[in-house]
Amino acid sequence: MYCLQNTRLKIYRYISVLNYRIFYFFKLTSLSIKKHNHSVAVIFLEKLIQDHTMSKTGYKLIHHGARHSVTGSCHELQLRGGSGLLIDCGLFQGREAGEQLEVNFAVDHLCGLVLTHVHIDHVGRLPYLLAAGFKGPIYCSQPTAMLLPTVLEDALKISFTRERRKIRHFLEIIENQLHPLEYNNWHLIDTKAKDSLEIRLQPAGHILGSAYLECRIKTSTGQSARILFSGDLGAPYAPLLPAPKPPYGADLVVLESTYGNRQHESRKERKEKLQRMIELALQDRGVILIPAFSIGRTQELLYEIEELIHRNRQRFAARNLPWEELEIILDSPLASRFTKLYRELQPFWDAEAKGTLKRGRKPLAFEQLTTIDNHQDHLHTVDYLKRKARPCIVIAASGMCSGGRIVNYLKAMIGDPRTDILFSGYQASGTPGRAIQKYGHRGGYVILDDKRYDIRARIHTISGYSAHADQRNLVNFIKRMRKTPQHVRLVHGESDAQQVLRKQLEQLVITVD
């Protein structure tokens, strides 16, 4: 949330377009900001800025989620003629999971929806959006169009119904509305108005199919603007994915800020750290548990572990355990399906990954990889590893330990000091993953399915495997545009991350809010 000082600064910035009565209202309501968690003045202020922006530029931004938080991404670009383009419609997770799921904004004026990628915090409210009456086109990249049905099918089974007929009917509706777009091609949107809107998707390097969105607006009165929505930007040199390249320029950038206050390790550092951690963890011949998101993180980890096995094939990972005999267990039916889809989407891999394939290696289907789909096999594996503590690596969802098969592994082995738990991605506030990460080093505990479990396992974090750009990457994305944006709006980040990133960007003489 805005602090009192920032709110007043914004009011003074726009005083030239306000009349005295509105300004006087703000002086009165500024006293209530502290009493009402800033909400009254801030909401009124943002509405005021939106209206001023519309009259000045021909568009305004409305945020339906992830304005000052990490999940629930949903933003609207509204044109002067009244039509709007929705960018993402994601589910709230972690501490924000109690937020309203139902779509509480009008949808009849929307001329389309753009999905930047298929993570659930960007697509999870799609069922609610359709239930609210949205019937417009859904634009996304070609890989996203292939991955989306699997993501939504899983979400429907968890939150709505397991009845196949209903799920199939919903997916047919979605597929009929899908309009896959090629990267780097402009597409004209039918706005049903005199103002024109074109959109273009560019690779974002976050997960396969991820994109940032460029919007080009031309009004009937001759105004023009270019707005960029970053979606989730990835770090350069991520496995499998081409690095995101900044566009020529933009007037306004709506920029994610997940890691706006952090710097990741380099890819070389994180691979070396991963190898050291694996070799150290296996000394006591325990199990290494890696909670991982089914899509993106799992495939990147498999790619990197296959490379470690290949590079160290003549060495031992631990006493009497050659690297070539180290078993990797992928225990997630959904992750297995996504891994298969990733293999089908090889034309969208980066040059390095394609080169690995040409050399005869199979980075997502290597010999040491065991996949577990059947639930009984899963339970048997958990029980066996708990009793025998066989040295191996288990990768299972969910990435924040808030559900999925990783929970059963944690219940069985988090109290065993031979167990090592490796976090390789963001752990949202309020999730079991955040609690384990925060309190595990102190001999704390975690609540899993309403039961307390003491943490005796060793806890590790490798930040370099995050699918999100870090502070340096985000600043460089803006800095390397030839036409520097006049304005950057930070979204998809917690308040401390946004405040730190804002200070960095303001050094570029950019207006940031």
Q: DSSP string spanning 359-413?
A: TT--TTS-TTEEE--SHHHHHHHHHHHHHH---EEEEES-TTSSSSTHHHHHHHH
User: Is residue 29 assigned to a domain?
Assistant: no
Distance of alpha carbon 414 from alpha carbon 443, whole angstroms: 11
Instruction: Give the pLDDT confidence of 41-98 residue by residue, as tens digits.
Output: 545 555 555 555 665 677 999 999 999 888 899 999 999 888 999 999 999 876 777 6
Last-in-domain residue among 449, 465, 481? 465
Same-domain status, 286 and 428: yes
Q: Are 412 and 386 in contact (CB under 8 A)?
A: yes
Show the low-confidence residues of the chain (pLDDT under 50): 1-5, 7-40, 42
SS3 129: helix
Q: Which helix (H) or strand (E) holds 121?
A: helix 120-123
- Model-level pTM? 0.85
Last-in-domain residue among 465, 483, 504? 465
User: Is residue 175 assigned to a domain?
Assistant: yes
Same-domain status, 116 and 248: yes
Q: Which of 242, 175, 244, 236 lies closest to 213, judged by CA? A: 244
User: Is residue 309 assigned to a domain?
Assistant: yes
- State the residue range of the domain holding 202: 59-263+468-512
User: Is residue 93 assigned to a domain?
Assistant: yes
Same-domain status, 163 and 283: no
Output the domain CATH number for residue 361.
3.40.50.10890
Same-domain status, 403 and 498: no
Residue position matching structure tokens 């090629």: 182
The secondary structure of residue 62, as a DSSP letter, is E
Q: Are 111 and 192 in contact (CB under 8 A)?
A: yes
Q: Which of 445, 372, 337, 332 lies closest to 118, judged by CA? A: 337
Q: Are 203 and 211 in contact (CB under 8 A)?
A: yes
Q: Are 65 and 74 in contact (CB under 8 A)?
A: yes
Reading phi first (left if > 0) and then psi (alpha if -120 to 50, else beta), residue 155 is in: alpha
User: Is residue 5 assigned to a domain?
Assistant: no
Instruction: Find all residues with CB under 8 Å of 239, minimum gap 6, and list them.
Output: 299, 300, 303, 304, 352, 353
User: Is residue 499 assigned to a domain?
Assistant: yes
Same-domain status, 179 and 199: yes
Same-domain status, 85 and 224: yes
User: Is residue 3 assigned to a domain?
Assistant: no
Output the domain CATH number for residue 210.
3.60.15.10
User: Is residue 298 assigned to a domain?
Assistant: yes
Same-domain status, 290 and 320: yes
Same-domain status, 380 and 479: no
Same-domain status, 304 and 336: yes
What pLDDT, on the 0 to 100 scale, is given for residue 172?
Answer: 96
Last-in-domain residue among 428, 450, 465? 465
* Residue 168: exposure state from Cβ atoms within 10 A (0-12, 13-18, ≥19): exposed
Distance of alpha carbon 131 from alpha carbon 107, whole angstroms: 10
Same-domain status, 255 and 365: no
Same-domain status, 476 and 417: no
* Number of folded domains that form the chain: 2
Pairing of strands 458-461, 420-423: parallel
What pLDDT, on the 0 to 100 scale, is given for residue 31?
Answer: 37
Same-domain status, 280 and 201: no
What pLDDT, on the 0 to 100 scale, is given for residue 25?
Answer: 38
